[in-house]
């Protein structure tokens, strides 16, 4: 098992070294560790243990005369086995409760707010993610008339979100016309993904509707757009300027590449959308397939409801030497409070902007 070869003393030395490097950002030498009260060893013993940790792949030595820094393997073992003793302060817990003690209107807003809380408490960049939902379908269509020229199309998606569109019908709409349209949409379109809505199906729908077939083309476009919107996911960033406080991002070119990855969003969405389950995920450096993330880590947690529905994820991005113990405790605290809010209140899904569609266009 990973780390089984490490003695208790090696574990204590590795833990102390990782935490010293996290705090100072500099290589750590044996002399510094002799001052750690939890390591009752001579400087020579600590040097030998550090050399063995380096040989095993847990530490690296940037320069011949310098101390050591953790390797990705060292950070991974620290996260998996050593970083479990951070206790959030009363002030931090109160900050979480205060910032999240609000009545939010939409899930998107509360996810973004939660990521901002995590960013503030950890001093890293916050992320709020609505993950991709490949193969999403409309499981049920509903509709209701607003006036003689306007109706609302309601689409219940297979990921349990609900999308609505306001549609204007220049030639008029009544409950009879709308009821027939909804019946046919449920018969022909419900349960199909975008690639399965073929031209023959659309032509069959138009044939069934007869004189009212002018509705079909604009409605099919709306359905395609909604499916694509849900498919592609969404990423919102907060506190990106916090990264500038860390020397790891002082290289202008590297920071520009990082900003590019955050703005493009696809790579980060791939990482988060590929996560399984609802536990906290820690992706360290090159564990990510994204080259620009080689000097950074992402910590995130999917947010689920009691019935197992995944609403999104919140997390932070920071340097490899991020304070993992604090980050893990913060993400657990924020996501726990967030889950309470989502399960105790009825929060509607994001609303779509209304779009007018004229018959025949």
pLDDT at 106: 64
**Helix ranges, 174-323 (H):** 175-188, 199-209, 216-232, 252-264, 266-273
How far apart, in whole angstroms, are the C-alpha atoms of residue 276 and residue 274? 7
How much is the pTM? 0.74
Tell which residue, 62, 40, 50, has the closest CA to residue 6.
50
Q: Cβ(344)–Cβ(136) under 8 Å? A: no
pLDDT at 353: 40
pLDDT at 10: 93
Q: Cβ(188)–Cβ(140) under 8 Å? A: no
Q: What region does 191 belong to: left with phi over 0, alpha with psi -120 to 50, or beta?
A: left
Query: 3-state DSSP call for residue 201?
Result: helix
Quick one: CATH architecture of 8-82? Orthogonal Bundle (1.10)
- Which residues make up the CATH 3.30.390 domain(s) of the chain? 138-232
pLDDT at 141: 95
The fold of 138-232 is: Enolase-like; domain 1 (3.30.390)
How far apart, in whole angstroms, are the C-alpha atoms of residue 300 and residue 83? 16
- Which residues make up the CATH 1.10.10.10 domain(s) of the chain? 8-82
**148 DSSP assignment:** T
Q: Cβ(70)–Cβ(58) under 8 Å? A: yes
- Which residues make up the CATH 3.30.450.40 domain(s) of the chain? 90-132+233-344
CATH of 90-132+233-344, one of 3.90.550.10, 3.30.450.40, 1.20.1090.10, 3.40.50.150: 3.30.450.40
236 by Cβ neighbours in 10 Å (0-12 / 13-18 / 19+) ranks as middle
How far apart, in whole angstroms, are the C-alpha atoms of residue 319 and residue 212? 59
pLDDT at 352: 47
Please list the pLDDT of the chain residue by residue as tens digits (361 residues).
677 889 999 999 999 999 999 998 889 988 888 887 678 888 889 999 999 999 999 999 887 767 899 999 999 999 999 887 777 788 888 878 776 665 555 677 788 889 999 999 999 999 998 877 777 889 999 999 998 888 999 999 887 778 899 888 877 888 888 899 999 999 999 999 888 899 999 999 989 888 878 778 888 999 988 888 777 778 899 999 999 999 989 888 888 888 888 888 888 888 887 787 789 999 999 998 888 888 899 999 998 877 777 778 999 999 999 999 999 999 999 988 887 777 665 444 444 444 443 333 3
Q: Cβ(138)–Cβ(230) under 8 Å? A: no
293 by Cβ neighbours in 10 Å (0-12 / 13-18 / 19+) ranks as buried
């Amino acid at each position: 098992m990973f780390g089984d070869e490490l003695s208790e003393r090696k574990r204590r030395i590795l833990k102390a070294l990782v935490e010293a490097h996290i705090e100072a950002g500099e290589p750590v030498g044996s002399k510094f560790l002799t001052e750690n009260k939890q390591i009752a060893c001579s400087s020579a013993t600590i040097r030998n243990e550090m050399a063995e940790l380096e040989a095993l792949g847990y530490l690296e030595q940037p320069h011949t005369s310098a101390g050591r820094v953790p390797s990705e393997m060292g950070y991974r073992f620290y996260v998996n086995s050593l970083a479990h003793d951070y206790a959030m302060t009363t002030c931090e817990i109160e900050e979480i409760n205060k910032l999240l003690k609000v009545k939010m209107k939409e899930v998107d807003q509360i996810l973004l707010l939660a990521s901002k809380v995590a960013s503030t408490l950890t001093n890293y960049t916050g992320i709020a993610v609505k993950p991709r939902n490949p193969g999403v379908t409309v499981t049920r269509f509903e509709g209701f008339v607003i006036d003689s020229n306007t109706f609302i199309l309601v689409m219940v998606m297979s990921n349990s979100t609900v999308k609505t569109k306001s549609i204007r019908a220049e030639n008029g709409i009544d409950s009879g016309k709308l009821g027939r349209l909804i019946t046919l949409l449920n018969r022909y379109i419900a349960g199909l993904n975008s690639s399965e809505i073929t031209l023959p199906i659309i032509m069959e729908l138009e044939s069934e509707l007869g004189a009212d077939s002018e509705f079909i083309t604009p409605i099919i476009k709306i359905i395609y757009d909604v499916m694509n919107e849900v498919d592609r996911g969404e990423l919102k960033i907060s506190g990106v300027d916090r990264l500038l406080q860390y020397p790891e991002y002082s290289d202008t070119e590297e920071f520009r590449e990082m900003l590019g990855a955050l703005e493009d969003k696809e790579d980060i969405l791939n990482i988060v959308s590929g996560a399984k389950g609802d536990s906290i995920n820690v992706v360290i450096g090159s564990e990510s397939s994204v080259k620009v993330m080689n000097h950074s880590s992402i910590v995130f947690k999917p947010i689920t409801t009691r019935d197992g529905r995944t609403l999104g994820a919140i997390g932070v991005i920071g340097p490899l030497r991020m304070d993992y113990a604090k980050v893990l405790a913060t993400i657990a605290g924020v996501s726990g409070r967030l889950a309470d809010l989502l399960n105790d209140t009825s929060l509607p899904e994001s609303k779509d902007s209304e779009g007018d569609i004229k018959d025949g266009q």
